[in-house]
Amino acid sequence: MDDTAQALIAAKRAAGYQAADMVQDGMILGLGTGSTVLYALERLSLRVREGLQVRGIPTSYQTARRAYEYGIPLTTLDEEPVPDLVIDGADQVDIRLNLIKGRGAALTREKCVAAAGLCLVIVIDEQKLVTTLSAPVPVEIIPFAIRPVMTRLESLGCIPVLRDGVKKDGPVITDNGNFIVDCGFDGVDNPKELETALAGIPGVVESGLFCCFTEKTTVIVGSKKKCKIITSADIVP
């Protein structure tokens, strides 16, 4: 493993561990999906073995399996509809704390848990903090409507690409039984407006734009040296 890869792992681990250390005894946690969140789970597992009492709401089967392996007790939004703290990752975060999420195809459940939680903690490495969102925007679509939805997406000025599976033939299938389309825009200058437009297309379940949670969002940016913490108070009007 080269130095760059090792530095990236160290940054992700630092961010994930710091988020896990924010957890207090008795909390209900939203547990996101992705490589940086796995480091948070790793640290949480140690704290649970030391006596920390928590329960987690996983946003994907992958996270549920890993939490089970780590001995982190699980619950659901039915049982605990208001999580105290949600720990999740992001593909990109802009300077106003708007997010693009969904590379793990768990964006719909992640958005449900983020909306329900009192506090959203996003763990990322430095490469994912940007001035303007530019990564492809994942959109979850019901299979029945895939063709008309892709036509509507094109009319918004993007190049929509149906995400293919890895080590399987055919498209990625989400935990909800739907398809993922990755929408390539030439920069996302108004993410909130785009999120609203995507939500208004019949057949779209959710998009990977998270623009409505900035006031309760804390971003932990990991690096090789130390973590940087950004909150809504740091946003310049």
Region 6-35 average pLDDT: 95
Helix (H) or strand (E) holding 206: strand 204-207
Q: Which pLDDT does position 178 carry in this prediction?
A: 98
The answer to whether the CB of 38 falls within 8 A of the CB of 16 is yes
Is residue 159 within a helix (H) or strand (E), and if so which, with residue range? strand 159-162
| Order of strands across the sheet that contains 209-210 | 92-93, 99-100, 209-210
Please provide the CATH number assigned to the domain covering 3-126+212-230. 3.40.50.1360
Determine the average pLDDT of the residues in 130-159.
97
The pLDDT of residue 236: 66
If you average pLDDT over residues 137-145, what whole number do you get?
98
What pLDDT, on a 0 to 100 scale, did the predictor assign at position 1? 64
Taking Cα atoms as reference points, which of 63, 92, 33, 83 lies closest to residue 210?
A: 92
Which CATH superfamily is 137-207 part of? ACT domain (3.30.70.260)
Instruction: Please give the C-alpha separations between residue 157 and each of 20, 32, 181, 185, 203, in angstroms, as whole numbers.
Output: 39, 30, 14, 7, 18
Higher pLDDT, 75 or 166: 75
Q: Where are the domains of the chain?
A: 3-126+212-230, 137-207
Q: pLDDT at residue 2 above 80? A: no
The Cα–Cα gap between 219 and 121 comes to 6
Q: Assess contact for 40 and 22: CB atoms under 8 A.
A: no
Which sign does the torsion angle of CA 169, 88, 57, 235 carry? negative
pLDDT-based confidence at residue 64 (cuts at 50, 70, 90): very high
Window from 50-54, 125-129, 171-175, 222-226 with minimum mean pLDDT: 222-226
Residues with catalytic function: 110
CB 66 within 8 Å of CB 177: no
User: CB–CB of 198/139 below 8 Å?
Assistant: yes
- pLDDT 10s digits, 180-194: 999 999 989 999 999
C-beta of residue 104 within 8 angstroms of C-beta of residue 69? no
DSSP string of 215-226, one letter each residue: GGEEEEEE-SS-
What's the pLDDT at 169?
A: 86
Residue 79 amino acid letter: E
Going by their DSSP bridges, the two strands 217-222 and 228-231 should be labelled as: antiparallel
Which conformational region is residue 203 in: left (phi greater than 0), alpha (psi within -120 to 50 degrees), or beta?
Answer: left
Q: pLDDT tens digits, residue range 196-227?
A: 999 999 999 999 999 999 999 999 999 877 89
For residue 159, list its beta bridge partners.
184
How would residue 237 be classed by pLDDT, with cut points 50, 70 and 90?
A: low
> In this structure, what is the dihedral angle of CA atoms 179, 101, 33, 44, given to the nearest 10 degrees?
-170
* pLDDT 10s digits, 70-103: 999 999 999 999 999 999 999 999 999 999 999 9
Q: Report whether pLDDT(107) > 70.
A: yes
Q: How confident is the model at residue 4 (pLDDT cuts 50, 70, 90)?
A: confident
Span 7-35, mean pLDDT? Answer: 95
